[in-house]
């Protein structure tokens, strides 16, 4: 077997972390054909295909999953060696974290900033996306961890462990002056909706509940912005489906009313999921999980007081090793 070129190793790692050859080329300041040649050369050296090019974003093959963490260590060791021999400061540890769109307000403020203060040598590299896509990127090694939403009771895939931080309560909302009367799921058959685009866990859960009764889901408006969704609902453009923690703080709340729909249940769990981590990254990620749990507990207390009562649903107990359908 020919010797391994560290530049080929770096290219392989960058392609997986970037999710595509084009983004990897931009990060490495190379052309796309040059990145492809390096990746192919490294696969030839290893004697196996490491990347499944038929999937988007690119995913690791079984051989690639076995090799990627060792490749990261090689790149890190090469960077440290270069820094030592050239008298440079050692590179910071980087953690790549995905955050589901609906949880950005929860995760990207106080919890992340507290971890940054407590772990000065750690760089948090953050990106947002849909929960399913982020979970797949954790499984493939493109992300170290992700804060996501999953239906309660759903198992994590093999290669991913996680900690259940709490639950996400969803509210069906209508304009306060709306004459729509909804008591059970069947009453939603003629409703129009203002929702997140395809890929949203809450939207998928609603779709499943309506499909179970063979009811259509008519989406009138799709937008990522929850506050815009609530404003459109208040203008009677359709019904909305939003996390209760966001509804509580919305300036539009007084123009809305929540609908109690009998039989409509789609509880979602908030998870901090992690992949095959370097031991050096475990402590800051554990700290992030603790900060997120504390933030959720604080929000529940605040919401309970604003409604004149405390929430009866407690934060879920951490499950630190839930994996492979367990």
Kindly provide the b/e burial profile for residues 91-102, where b requires at least 16 CB atoms within 10 angstroms of the residue's own CB.
Answer: eeeebbbbbbbb
Give the pLDDT confidence score for residue 36 in this predicted structure. Answer: 92
Q: Is residue 187 classed as helix, strand or coil in its secondary structure?
A: helix
Q: Tell me, yes or no, if the pTM score tops 0.75.
A: no
52 and 184 in a single domain? The answer is: no
Domain end (from 32, 54, 85): 85
| Residue 11: inside a domain | yes
The secondary element (H helix, E strand) that includes residue 229 is helix 226-234
175 and 250 in a single domain? The answer is: yes
| Residue 323: inside a domain | no
Domain end (from 59, 85, 111): 85
Distances (CA, A) of 13 to 116, 195, 223, 250: 24, 36, 34, 42
99 and 156 in a single domain? The answer is: yes
DSSP string for residues in 109-140: THHHHHHHHH-TTEEEEEEEE-HHHHHHHHHH
Domain at 140, CATH number: 3.40.190.10
| Residue 313: inside a domain | no
Is residue 234 scored above 90 in pLDDT? Answer: yes
136 and 180 in a single domain? The answer is: no
| Residue 69: inside a domain | yes
102 and 250 in a single domain? The answer is: no
| Residue 265: inside a domain | no
- Residue 200 domain boundaries: 170-259
175 and 120 in a single domain? The answer is: no
Q: What is the mean pLDDT of residues 26-34?
A: 88
The secondary element (H helix, E strand) that includes residue 300 is helix 279-306
Reported as a pLDDT band with limits 50, 70 and 90, residue 86 is low
110 and 147 in a single domain? The answer is: yes
Give the pLDDT confidence score for residue 309 in this predicted structure. Answer: 45
| Residue 311: inside a domain | no
Comparing 80 with 257, the larger pLDDT belongs to: 257
Out of 138-142, 154-158, 173-177, 274-278, give the one with best mean pLDDT: 173-177
35 and 79 in a single domain? The answer is: yes
- Min mean pLDDT across 139-143, 172-176, 246-250, 254-258 is at 139-143
The alpha-carbon radius of gyration of the chain (Å, integer) is 23
196 and 56 in a single domain? The answer is: no
22 and 42 in a single domain? The answer is: yes
Domain at 35, CATH number: 1.10.10.10
153 and 190 in a single domain? The answer is: no
Question: How many CA atoms does the CB half-sphere of 86 hold within 13 Å?
Answer: 10
104 and 130 in a single domain? The answer is: yes
Domain total of the chain: 3
| Residue 319: inside a domain | no
For the chain, the distance separating the N- and C-terminal CA atoms, rounded to the nearest angstrom, is: 40
| Residue 193: inside a domain | yes
Q: What is the mean pLDDT of residues 32-55?
A: 89
């Amino acid at each position: 077997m020919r010797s391994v070129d560290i530049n080929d190793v770096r290219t392989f790692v960058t392609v997986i972390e970037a999710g595509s050859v084009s983004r990897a080329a931009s990060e490495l300041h190379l052309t796309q054909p040059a990145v492809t040649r390096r990746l192919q050369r490294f696969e030839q050296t290893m004697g196996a295909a490491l990347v499944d090019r038929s999937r988007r974003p690119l995913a690791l093959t079984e051989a690639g999953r076995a090799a990627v963490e060792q490749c990261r260590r090689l790149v890190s060791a090469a960077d440290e060696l270069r820094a030592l021999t050239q008298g440079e400061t050692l590179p910071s540890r980087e953690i790549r974290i995905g955050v589901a769109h609906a949880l950005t307000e929860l995760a990207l403020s106080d919890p992340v900033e507290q971890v940054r203060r407590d772990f000065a040598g750690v760089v948090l590299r953050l990106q947002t996306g849909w929960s399913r896509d982020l979970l797949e990127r954790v499984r493939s090694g493109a992300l170290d961890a992700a804060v996501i939403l999953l239906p309660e009771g759903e198992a994590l895939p093999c290669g991913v462990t996680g900690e259940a931080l709490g639950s996400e309560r969803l509210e069906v909302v209508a304009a306060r002056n709306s004459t729509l009367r909804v008591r059970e799921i069947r009453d939603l058959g003629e409703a129009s909706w203002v929702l997140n685009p395809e890929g949203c866990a809450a939207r998928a859960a609603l779709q499943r509940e309506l499909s179970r009764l063979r009811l259509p889901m008519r989406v009138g408006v799709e937008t990522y912005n929850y506050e815009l969704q609530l404003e459109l609902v208040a203008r009677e453009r359709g019904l909305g489906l939003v996390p209760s923690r966001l509804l509580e703080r919305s300036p539009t709340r007084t123009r809305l009313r929540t609908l109690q729909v009998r039989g409509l249940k789609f509880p979602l769990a908030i998870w901090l999921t992690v992949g095959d981590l370097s031991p050096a990254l475990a402590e800051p990620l554990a700290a992030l999980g603790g900060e997120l749990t504390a933030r959720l507990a604080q929000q529940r207390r605040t919401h309970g007081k604003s409604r004149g009562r405390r929430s009866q649903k407690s934060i879920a107990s951490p499950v630190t090793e839930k994996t492979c359908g367990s």
